Structure 1
Amino acid sequence: MGVSLEATTEKLTQASQTGYYGKCVRISVIIPVRPGDTAAKALSALRAVEYPPEYLEILLAEGTNPSRQRNVAAAQAAGEIVYFLDNDSEADIDLFRFVARSFADPNVAVVGGPSEILGSDSLLQKCFGYVLGSFFAVANVRCRYKAVGRWPQRAGEQKLILCNLGVRAEVFRKEGGLDERIYPNEENEMLNRLDAKGYALVYNPRAVVRRPHRTSLGRFVHQMFRYGRGRIHQFRLHPKFVNPVYFMPIGLLMYLVSLVAAVALGTPREVLRWYLVPLWVYLFASALSTARIVLDEEDWRPAMFAPMLILAVHLSYAVGMIAGLLHDPWTAREKVGAQSGGEATVRVLKRLGVGWE
């Protein structure tokens, strides 16, 4: 099953440089929705993509457990590729052309791209996206929110996001799909599992969707909290995929708490001066990251929000991880199965072999 990194990367780069879009593959697009949701924005964008419609199947999976919804829909999909979008994922016009190009290499099992900012987002929403696209804020996870690099590249779970992700249907079914006990972070576990088995995972920065970011600071902080908690839940269920890097925000939180305690306890100024060095380093790195955002976006306004938002990302993620460490939600749930409300109803909105109605 193992595929050399060099061989796959060379094939992907050659295809990109020659402008080859790849042989059209049959793609089953799967969109999980809550009961009553129509996924109107996602469907409207799909109608505009430049890809032969007879090679597209559209499935709407209705329910309250996204992992189960995706699994049930994937079991019914007729395409060679199952491609996961969210109900608000607006596919770029060239999305599937670039996806097909990456899947032209038969060794590639997974292809995904970034979920970028919507032009209609408010300034605050755009700042959420800018920060999530910052290396200092989220390291390589930034690739999920910003196109990084020019050509397709081998990737791990850090660079791939479930709202813009394609998997060979045969591989998805053979390897058990998504773990229905995990939400969010369910794709991280699956991608780690596939990567560990030697499947080639590819990040294509030109395979783009656009989604709106959270509409308020409170919702953004809660999103990061849930990501941190979900990461711990993933590690609890699959400890072999534990990565110490994800625990760094907890180290920052512990440092800041100890710093406040040191000041409150009247630590001598000479000692406190050295204790402040990590804080100054952090603030300097945050300032550099903010400057990079301002230069990249050619807009000074993100400077008003970015430093605060970077800190919010780190601390809310850390608190979420601590919450996950203190409480294991799966023990009780596993007695009655995976997440409650797990029924999924799949509707085929468009079949393969026909055009748009």
Structure 2
Amino acid sequence: MRFYSVIIPVYNRPNEVDELLESLTKQQFTNFEVLIVEDGSTEKCEKVCEKFTDQLNLQYYFKENSGQGFSRNFGFEKAKGDYFIVFDSDCIIPEDYFEVVEKALDEHSWDAFGGPDAALDTFTTTQKAISYSMTSFFTTGGIRGGKVQVGTFRPRSFNMGISKEVFDKTGGYLITRMAEDLEFSIRIEKAGFKMGLIPDAKVYHKRRTSLAQFYKQLFFFGRGRINIFRFYKSELKLMHFFPLAFTLGLIAVPFIKSYNNAIGNVALGLFLFYSVMIFADALFRSNSFKVAFLSIAAAFTQLIAYGLGFLKELFTFIVQPKPSGLNR
């Protein structure tokens, strides 16, 4: 039986930590410890953690703010497990999570793994729509853990596990934010470790509570893709330009219509068709017209924000081609 160390970096989210720890108390598999790493928060979760010290093997650490990547490294250095599992603080963990992981590792002996995320029925309509947008094949290509996906699966830090050997050899996160998890996954792969997806090892991920917050997050994700390009030139693929092309195309529709109405109507029809595809897929997955309609707004928000962030960092790259000051 493996021993797991759960690493959770936290920044000003005590209520989320409360829900996350509550879900961990309900795990059927209990051979794990939990390390909460408070990353310089002004709203500390220490008292929340005290509620669970009798129910969980729990350690709480407070440190100066350094970002989520380096906070995870801090937890890795304190961890005692055979495997280290990273969750975001806004996740809720199903009761069978560790049993599913244990069974998969028995079968595949992966050095690193990840799982998908999903929405609970208790999430708000906006959270469900955002969850759909972040996991849909029509927006992300399924790269965040879907069974059907474009390209190689690489774990992301909302739901990611690595062996102690992986940390010992790689040293953990090289940068602390702006696609830090993707850079880490690529480096794990290049180091020769076995890595895989566990489709049933899902977490319920709350993500952002409004489209405005979602926009800010995805703008940063778009910037992160160019930051990865600073490290690995081969990692910028044609498909990564899709959100930018989508955004520029959407902006161009009125101008195209003013120049040639027929061509403009064709362009507009393509965006409408895309919206219908999203609506139908979201309706099938959620069985909710409200979620389906809002999923269109979430998908457009995601693609536009990512595309503009991508464009901004692309211009920055021209001026500053080397990795940003966020690395060690």
SS at match of 1:25: coil
What is the rounded CA distance, in whole Å, between the counterparts of 1:122 and 1:213 in structure 2? Answer: 11
- Counterpart position of 1:42: 20
CA offset at residue 244 of structure 1?
Answer: 2.4
What is the rounded CA distance, in whole Å, between the counterparts of 2:108 and 2:166 in structure 1? Answer: 12
Task: Work out whether 1:213 is the aligned partner of 2:207.
Answer: yes
SS at match of 1:93: coil
Task: Work out whether 1:156 is the aligned partner of 2:153.
Answer: yes
SS at match of 2:141: helix
CA offset at residue 309 of structure 1?
Answer: 2.3
- For residues 187-226 of structure 1, what are the structure 2 equivalents within 5 Å? 187-226=181-220
What's the CA shift string for 1:166-199, capped at 9, x where partnerless? 1011112202211224x13211111122223432
CA contact (8 A) 2:8 2:36 kept: yes
What's the CA shift string for 1:214-240, capped at 9, x where partnerless? 111211111211111122122223323
Alignment RMSD (CA, Å)? 2.6
- Counterpart position of 2:141: 139
- Counterpart position of 1:305: 294
What is the rounded CA distance, in whole Å, between the counterparts of 1:36 and 1:313 in structure 2? Answer: 23
Code of the aligned partner of 1:49 = Q
What's the CA shift string for 1:1-50, capped at 9, x where partnerless? xxxxxxxxxxxxxxxxxxxxxxx211011111237948222222111101
- Counterpart position of 1:324: 313
CA contact (8 A) 1:42 1:86 kept: no
CA contact (8 A) 1:102 1:111 kept: no
- For residues 1-357 of structure 1, what are the structure 2 equivalents within 5 Å? 24-34=1-11, 37=14, 39-51=17-29, 53=30, 55-63=31-39, 64=65, 65-105=67-107, 107-143=109-145, 148=147, 156-157=153-154, 160-181=155-176, 183-263=177-257, 266-267=258-259, 269=260, 272-327=261-316, 334=325, 338=327
CA offset at residue 66 of structure 1?
Answer: 1.0
CA contact (8 A) 1:32 1:70 kept: yes
Code of the aligned partner of 2:38 = E
CA offset at residue 117 of structure 1?
Answer: 1.1
CA offset at residue 275 of structure 1?
Answer: 4.9
CA offset at residue 56 of structure 1?
Answer: 0.9
- Counterpart position of 1:18: none
What is the rounded CA distance, in whole Å, between the counterparts of 1:333 and 1:148 in structure 2? Answer: 33
Code of the aligned partner of 1:201 = M
Code of the aligned partner of 1:298 = N
Code of the aligned partner of 2:212 = G
SS at match of 2:8: strand
Task: Give the alignment's TM-score, normalised by structure 1.
Answer: 0.75
What is the rounded CA distance, in whole Å, between the counterparts of 2:182 and 2:28 in structure 1? Answer: 29
SS at match of 2:200: coil
CA contact (8 A) 1:107 1:199 kept: no
Task: Give the alignment's TM-score, normalised by structure 2.
Answer: 0.81
What is the rounded CA distance, in whole Å, between the counterparts of 2:285 and 2:13 in structure 1? Answer: 40
CA offset at residue 202 of structure 1?
Answer: 1.4
CA offset at residue 120 of structure 1?
Answer: 2.1
Code of the aligned partner of 2:249 = Y
Code of the aligned partner of 1:61 = V
Greater RCO structure (CA 8 Å; 6+ sep) = 1
Query: Quick one: structure 1 residues 155 and 101, their matched pair in 2 at CA, closer, same or farther if it must change by over 3 Å?
Result: farther
Number of residue equivalences: 297
Code of the aligned partner of 1:162 = S
Code of the aligned partner of 1:200 = K
Code of the aligned partner of 1:252 = F
What is the rounded CA distance, in whole Å, between the counterparts of 2:288 and 2:134 in structure 1? Answer: 17
What is the rounded CA distance, in whole Å, between the counterparts of 1:219 and 1:84 in structure 2? Answer: 23
CA offset at residue 106 of structure 1?
Answer: 6.2
CA offset at residue 84 of structure 1?
Answer: 0.5
SS at match of 1:167: strand
What is the rounded CA distance, in whole Å, between the counterparts of 1:262 and 1:298 in structure 2? Answer: 36
Structure 1 gap segments, 5+ residues each: 1-23, 340-357
CA offset at residue 142 of structure 1?
Answer: 5.0
What is the rounded CA distance, in whole Å, between the counterparts of 2:230 and 2:93 in structure 1? Answer: 34
Structure 2 gap segments, 5+ residues each: 40-64
CA contact (8 A) 2:117 2:135 kept: no
Q: Which runs of 4+ in 1 moved over 6 A?
A: 329-333
What's the CA shift string for 1:302-338, capped at 9, x where partnerless? 232222322221111100101111235897964xx74
SS at match of 1:120: coil
What is the rounded CA distance, in whole Å, between the counterparts of 2:324 and 2:306 in structure 1? Answer: 24
Identity level (%): 25
What's the CA shift string for 1:74-127, capped at 9, x where partnerless? 122111101101223211101011111122246411121122113321112211
